Amino acid sequence: MNPSCKQFVEQIDAEGHFHLLFAHLPGICFFVKASDGRFVLANASFMRRVGIEDERDLIGKTDAEIFPADLAEVFRKGDREVIESGRPMRNEVEMFLNAVGLPEWHITNKLPVRDRAGRVVGVMGTVQRHAGALLAIDQPAIVRAADLIREHCGDGVSVAELARRAGLSPRHFSRRFREVFSVSPQEYLVKTRIQRACQALQDGVPIGEVATACGFYDQSNFGRQFKKHTGITPRQYRLRYLAR
């Protein structure tokens, strides 16, 4: 392990509790980074996702060295917000690599790491597949609403209808939904459509048909939204997938 990384770990985790806690939790990726973005700890699930077998090959690297540029920038932005504010980031819905190395929506939690003097010296977090992480959220009405959005993302489902089913006013429902997922129901719908579009592009569906099937107004609107959320165009995504 890099000497500076080893010193960091000793500062915050002298007895190795992080590894003991997260080494054997299936489906949960765990990591710790220093304030400059360098990885100092990660569990086996995280390393499998990024295609690294030996933790020594990860320690000292940054997101930019192991993830696509668009994902790396999103991760680093979230890290900086947690480090600078000292406040945790909970249940953030964002792209992460799935078991075959392709982007998929996950739920991320990040917390500030403090040294023994209480100073923020880094960030630690967990990443879990969206479907699995939902089971742990103690908001059953909101979880059901999220399920409905995923089931009907191609048809469209109104906030008013979701609120009615949740037994809440539209305003209260939207507020509760944002508290759980850090995005509005409308934003969550777009994210879900993008995820479905990724799968359709992998399956070889023509781009124009993907746009229609996933509920976008037209191919132009689909292209803009897709690039906004993934950093690349639908065509570039398909070419990247075919190149694997």
Torsion angle of alpha carbons 22, 127, 202, 206, nearest 10°?
A: 170
How does pLDDT run across 50-97, given as a tens digit for each residue?
A: 878 888 899 999 998 988 776 788 889 999 999 999 999 988 877 776
- Residue 172: the pLDDT is 92
* 103: Cβ contacts below 8 Å, ≥ 6 apart: 68, 71, 95, 96, 97, 198, 230
Q: Give the predicted TM-score (pTM) of the model.
A: 0.55
pLDDT digits (tens, 9 = 90+) for 116-172: 888 999 999 998 876 545 545 567 788 788 888 888 888 877 889 999 988 899 999
Query: What CATH number should be reported for the domain whose range is 137-242?
Result: 1.10.10.60
Asked if residue 112 has pLDDT above 90, the reply is: yes
Per the CB < 8 A criterion, the answer to whether 2 and 55 are in contact is no
pLDDT computed for residue 196 by the predictor: 85
Burial 107-139 (b: 16+ CB within 10 A, else e): bbbbbbbeeeeeebbbbbbbbbbbeebbeeeeb
As a whole-number percent, the residues of the chain with pLDDT over 70 amount to 80
Interval 168-193: pLDDT, tens: 999 999 988 887 776 788 888 888 88
Q: Which DSSP symbol is given to 87?
A: -
Average pLDDT, the chain: 81
Among 123, 120, 127, residue whose Cα is nearest residue 32: 123
Angstrom distance (rounded) from CA 106 to CA 199: 15
From CA 60, how far away is CA 128, in angstroms rounded? 23
Sequence spans of domains, the chain: 3-133, 137-242
Please state which CATH class domain 3-133 belongs to. Answer: alpha beta
Among 41-45, 101-105, 158-162, 194-198, name the one with the lowest average pLDDT: 101-105
Confidence of residue 15 (pLDDT cuts 50, 70, 90): very low
Tokens at 181, concatenated:
């997922």
Phi, psi of 207 (to 5 degrees): -60, -40
